[in-house]
Structures are given as structure tokens and as C-alpha cells.
Amino acid sequence: MPDDVVRIFDTTLRDGEQAPGIALTRAEKVEIAEQLARLNVDILEAGFPISSEGEFEAVREIASSVRGPVIAALARVTPGDIERAAEALRGAERWRIHTFISTSDIHMTDMLRMSHGQVLDAIREGVKLAVSYTDDVEFSAQDATRTELGFLLECFKVAVDAGATTINVPDTVGYAMPHEFGELVRRVREALPEHVVISTHCHNDLGLAVANSLAGIVNGARQVEVAVNGIGERAGNCSLEEIAMIIRTRGQALGVRHHLNTREIMRTSRLVSSLTGYTVQPNKAVVGSSAFAHESGIHQHGVLSNRATYEIMDPLEIGLEGNRIVLGKHSGRHAFADALAKLGITLEGERLNRAFARFKELADRKIQLTEQDLEAIVGEELGAGAEETFVLESVVVGGGTHLEPRATVHLRRGDEVIQESAMGDGLIDAAMGAIQRATGVEARLVTFNVSSVTGGSDALGDVVVQLDVEGRRVTGRGVATDVVEASARAYLAAINRALQVKAAPTGERVTP
């Protein structure tokens, strides 16, 4: 690959999914992976196969079905991890094993209980084993920015000698500042052979993930590890869309380019937001709802005269072309499926039936549904999973200024219909209390976010909740024309997710 090309390594499905409350189903992971392929990312990290059977199966399905990107899987430098990753990736067109170990003193002493020599031996043996399966092996030194430079370079040289072709310099805890990180990448670049690709993996604990990644690129990194909407552990990862548009907008000054199809950025951002339940803040760079909005009279006058007066990016470049799809209650299944296909969403069988039924239900209450509405509907249905423990049949609420709010819900579990009522501080609180009684699941509400999908008085209400169920955080999303119903759907979706996660085997989650 030419030296001026920056490879985009997307870790939305691995590190991104490790954000609190996100637990994507296999179908959701495949849906996102297919969209990332349309976005044309160079490397797609599908997951950490050793962590659970569900994770292994999701990586294997992505590897066997998604074409275009190199499919990567994470593995510690231990035989079991590497063998499991190789097994999951075998069906891929092109694949990579991404192996890692911690190298900082604090990690080696307090977490690994390993000496410097033991870490070096583990790197050597682990990379050699990975190379026996594929010639595309990446090595990451976890907590590189807090590792003594001499030992870090020694670790990287051992990995390269063992066959690693990509060396990743992770700022695992978001500790570095741009001038420090850029200098570190420069030293690594100078110490290793030219054929080795240097990569960055920066976390956003101090809000510097994008700045640090950019400093790495300026100093010779030719791969950058990113996540859509910047999701990930703690404060998140380097944002894909921000790095993409920095290179697109300032590529001449930087002397680099990428292969992304930027017109898929907005669609990818919305899909990931829909399926993870992590909403995008309005003032988020590139993909926020206010990113191309102008309220100031001076700004409005300038943009009307010449868009370039206040916009350094063309919104068309990221896929913002207005609401091109409008459907109503008379639209049929074919038109619905065709509209989804134009959005890059493919649903079949029972999933299509469920989404179409939900569409018709909402279309009866709203005159027109836009593509944003469709994305929200599909996001809710995909998030619910194919087999929900409880299904919301109805919610009836009542109350007022002098009447205590009360809610009654009817839930279906198989052939059984459960009715429960509760009073609360408000209609939403009452509905959630009734659902908790009906399901028998004790949950503590951690976060509650409500927004409108589109503008206008008939906009769909989009509610995202995060619950703490037995110490585990889960996210649920609900969409409806009524915010109380949307809240009830979101609350029940989170409870269903908690029950699904509880029933599935658990595994360890780690990050470089």
C-alpha cells in the first residue's frame, strides 16, 4: 500500500462494544459489520473470540459472510486465545490475528505478575504461534504510553523478529498528550524496519484521542484504530468520523489520504447509535445534529451567500442529503424492504416481519415516516433480539394534577399474558414500576434519555435507558409516537437484554 495511505482499523465491534451497557447480539454485530464494509474500512476488528461462545460465533459469522475489509480478532499472547481466534477467522477472505500483552511496570507488577523477561518470552512465542496461522499479525503493547521506552522498543523488536507486520502503540488509559505521543510514535517508527506498519490506538480519557492519533499520523503512523461515534471503554476511543474528515479536509497539508467511502459515514453513525443505544450529542463533530446547523444571523447570511464561509466540509460528503424516503400507512412490505435496502439494511424472515409489523403500527399513528424513523424502528427491533422473554402488549396510564399517576401493563411471555399495575412519581415511573412487577426483575434506572427522531409535533419519541440489574449494566431502546410508551418499551428491552445476557456464558473483556 502506498506510503501516503492511512489504513482505517475499525474496532467498533470489539473495543466499542466494551462501553458500559452495550451488549450487541450476533445479528446486530453482523449488521454493523456489513455497514462498515460499505464504509470501506481497511481492517474490521470483529471481536475477542476467547471471551465467550457468543462472541466466537459472531466473529465466525462476520468472517464467513462479510467481504471487503481484512477481518481481525483480538487475542492475548497465549496459545488458547490465538488458536480460538484463528478458528473463528478461518472463513474470512483476508484475516488478521491481533495479539497483545501489557508492558508497563504497573500492569506487569499488579496485573500480570510477570517479569520483563517473561513478557518478552510471551511476546515471542505468541507472535510465532499467530504467524503459523496467518502472515498478517498485529502486536499491541497494552499501556504503551506508560511503558519505559527502552523496554517498549525491545518488546516491539521481539514481535517484529517473530513475524509481526503491524505494531500498535496504544494509549490505553488516555494518558498521553499530543506532543508526547507524536514523539513516541516517531521513536518507534525509527526503531523498526520500513515494511512494518505503525498503528495508533488512543483512548479519550482526557479528550485527546483524536489529537493523539493525528499526532501519530504526522509522525509516521499509517494505521489508526478508531470506533464509530468514538464509543468504547470509559470515555471512548478515537472517533472514526473525525479522523476520516480531518484527513479528507486537510489531507493536502498532512500529505496523507484514506480509502473510506465518506458518504456512508452518517448512515454508519446512525446505525451504531441505534443498535448500541448510545445517542450522539448534538454538537458532536461531523455527525452531531448541529454539526451543519446555523442559527446565528451572521452565519446564516454567510452560508446563504456561500456555503464555504462557515462550512469547511460539504454535508453531502458524509451522506447528508435530506429525507429522501417517505413512507406511510398504505406502503406495502415490498416498499418497506426496498426502503431499508436503500439505507443499507437487509432484514429477512422473522426479523423483517417484526420490523414491518412495527412500521405499520407506527404508520397508523403518524402520517409519514422518514428514513430516520425507519432506522429507529429497525434499531429497536434488532436491539430486541429474535427471542424476547417478555413482549409489551399494551400500556395504559392515567393521572393528572390531583391524581396520583398510575400505569397498567400487559406483557406476553410465550402464551401467558401478565397484567400488573403500579403507581409512581410520574406516568413514566409508574409504567416502569408496573413492568418491574410483571417481569419480577429488580432493576435500578441508571440513565434515561429521550429525544425526537425527526422534527415536528408528530415526531417519534426515541428513549434510551440504562439499567443496573444484579450489578450488570444493560441498555434498552424504545421508539413510539408517545414518550410513555417509548419509555416502557425501552425499559422492557433492557430487562430482556439482562435476561439474555444472564443466560449466556460470560467472558473476560479486555482492551489494548
Long-range Cβ pairs for the range 284-289 (8 Å, 24+): 284/229, 285/239, 285/241, 285/242, 285/245, 286/239, 286/241, 286/242, 286/244, 286/245, 286/313, 286/318, 287/229, 287/241, 287/318
Q: Determine the pLDDT at residue 309.
A: 81
C-alpha grid cell, residue 344: 443499507
Nearest alpha-carbon partner for 485 in 413, 440, 435: 435
Q: Which amino acid is at 460?
A: L
pTM above 0.95, yes or no: no
Cα dihedral sign for 68, 345, 262, 43? negative
Beta strands in 143-222 (DSSP E): 166-171, 197-202
Q: Of all helices (H) and strands (E), which one includes residue 255?
A: none
Helix-strand-coil split of the chain, %, nearest 5: 45, 20, 35
Q: Determine the pLDDT at residue 117.
A: 97
Nearest alpha-carbon partner for 168 in 243, 90, 104, 222: 222
459 alpha carbon, distance to own chain's centre = 25
Domains defined along the chain, listed by start = 7-276 (3.20.20.70), 291-321 (no CATH), 333-381 (no CATH), 391-503 (3.30.160.270)
How many helices, marked H, and strands, marked E, lie in the chain? 16, 14
Question: Which of helix, strand or coil describes residue 154?
Answer: helix
Question: Other CB atoms closer than 10 Å to residue 206's CB: what's the count?
Answer: 15
Q: What contacts 93, CB < 8 A, 6 or more positions away?
A: 67, 68, 71
Q: Determine the pLDDT at residue 419.
A: 96
431 alpha carbon, distance to own chain's centre = 29
Contact call for residues 150 and 188 (beta carbons, < 8 A) = no
Half-sphere exposure at residue 312, Cβ-oriented, CA atoms within 13 angstroms: 8
Nearest alpha-carbon partner for 432 in 487, 391, 493, 500: 487
Q: Determine the pLDDT at residue 493.
A: 87
Say how far apart CA 199 and CA 171 lie, in whole Å: 11
Q: Determine the pLDDT at residue 333.
A: 77
Say how far apart CA 46 and CA 95 lie, in whole Å: 10
Q: Which residues pair with 495 in a beta bridge?
A: none
Q: Which amino acid is at 382?
A: L
Question: Other CB atoms closer than 10 Å to residue 102's CB: what's the count?
Answer: 26
**Can you say whether residue 255 is alpha, beta or left, with left for phi > 0 and alpha for psi between -120 and 50 degrees?**
left
Q: What contacts 347, CB < 8 A, 6 or more positions away?
A: 337, 340, 355, 378
Contact call for residues 189 and 221 (beta carbons, < 8 A) = yes
Nearest alpha-carbon partner for 431 in 495, 493, 488, 489: 488
Q: Determine the pLDDT at residue 417.
A: 94
Nearest alpha-carbon partner for 256 in 228, 218, 286, 285: 218
SS (H, E, C) 175-189: CCCHHHHHHHHHHHH
- pLDDT tens sequence across 338-354: 778 777 777 777 778 88
Residues of the chain with pLDDT under 50: 322-324
Contact call for residues 467 and 473 (beta carbons, < 8 A) = yes
Q: What contacts 151, CB < 8 A, 6 or more positions away?
A: 103, 116
Count of residues making up the chain: 512
Say how far apart CA 352 and CA 355 lie, in whole Å: 5
Exposed / middle / buried, residue 299 (Cβ in 10 Å: 0-12, 13-18, 19+): middle
